Amino acid sequence: MSEWSVTEPRKLTFDEPVSELHVRLVNGTVNVVGTDEGSARLEISEIEGPPLVVTQQDGTLTVAYEDLPWKGFLKWLDRKGWRRSAVVSLAVPASTRVEVGVVGAAAVISGIEGPAVVKGVTGDTTLVGLSGPVRADTVSGNVEAQDVTGDLRFNSVSGDLTVVEGSGSSVRADSVSGSMIVDLDPGGPTDVRLTSVSGEIAIRLPDPADAEVEANTASGAVSNAFDDLRVHGQWGAHKITGRLGAGNGKLRATTVSGSIALLRRPAREDEPDEPWDTRPPGTGSSPAGPQDDPQDAPQARSGDNSVSDRGAADAGVPADGTTDKKVL
């Protein structure tokens, strides 16, 4: 086993293969990025307080404090031990299994194809471009997942969850008071189950969507953007049910006092078959130059907007520039 005790800014390169990464940090920032390189690299650019211990054994690279174990991590509430900070950046092979634990620190994990597990007491976590299964557990830290294609599991007491362009086959989220904003763009059927006690839930689905939908709130308000779904209940409890498309996927959302909103993603616009400039061959494709005869150009008449109307029609939008897209 190789071991380093780091008390000042330092860079390390590991030639031995790395298949697992364990990071446990208090305050500061940890950045983990997956690469197509076979080796791993570590940079500790800032450090205050006790040393960080770096070990490598049997393919597992660990960067952590000795008094901060992974087991029972979320119960580590020794405020005296919080008087420390570090900024840690790691580049590891994309297939690496990653486990990150943070107390008051921000975590960013990107480009990882292997399984990823994040535990946080406080401090926000950002997940970008992860294709393996992801699990995030926090006490009050927020989690933002961007372009995550793997299955996502989220549990929190008061932390918020934000999913942007999620395309995984499964999203499971449970929270007591945290809100959930889930923007889905799946390539196939998706199983989505969201549960909260008092947090608000907003889900944006593609158009067209493909799911059996059941959303319930005991005392919160509901909003529905899909004509194929029905809203039940006028006072107190509300429910949204129905089938979108063939109903191959499943969407279940439940909150006690929070509101629920089902929103529609803007429809994908097809690329135009022809370029905007469709003049007959031989007339040239460059804009009119100084030597062009102004009389050859179309003459605009007062009150005549036929040219702009025709361009708008070709683009598939109204002439006044308005659209019916809904945004989250």
Output the pLDDT for position 294. 39
Say whether pLDDT at 327 is over 50: no
CA-CA distance, 218 to 43, in Å (whole number)?
A: 50
Say whether pLDDT at 291 is over 50: no
Say whether pLDDT at 107 is over 70: yes
CA-CA distance, 23 to 19, in Å (whole number)?
A: 14
Say whether pLDDT at 36 is over 70: yes
CA-CA distance, 328 to 182, in Å (whole number)?
A: 10
Taking residues 212-231, report their average pLDDT. 94
pLDDT band at 45 (very low <50, low <70, confident <90, very high): very high
Taking residues 245-263, report their average pLDDT. 95
Q: What angle do CA 13, 68, 74 make, to 5 degrees?
A: 120
Residues 6+ apart with CB under 8 A from 55: 1, 2, 3, 4, 61, 62
CA-CA distance, 130 to 313, in Å (whole number)?
A: 40
Tokens standing for residue 312: 């708008």
Judge whether 143 and 156 are in contact, CB under 8 Å: yes
Residues 6+ apart with CB under 8 A from 7: 47, 51
CA-CA distance, 73 to 228, in Å (whole number)?
A: 45
Residues 6+ apart with CB under 8 A from 271: none
Long-range pairs for 175-182 at CB < 8 Å and ≥24 separation? 175/199, 178/142, 179/258, 181/328
Judge whether 232 and 268 are in contact, CB under 8 Å: no
Taking residues 186-197, report their average pLDDT. 91
**pTM of the shown model:** 0.78
**What is the pairing mode between strands 191-196 and 170-175?**
parallel
Output the pLDDT for position 269. 57
pLDDT band at 265 (very low <50, low <70, confident <90, very high): confident
pLDDT (tens digit per residue) in 47-68: 999 999 999 999 999 999 887 7
Taking residues 281-296, report their average pLDDT. 42
Say whether pLDDT at 275 is over 80: no
Say whether pLDDT at 16 is over 70: yes
Tokens standing for residue 137: 């557990």
Alpha-carbon distances, residue 104 vs 73, 81, 86 (angstroms): 13, 12, 11
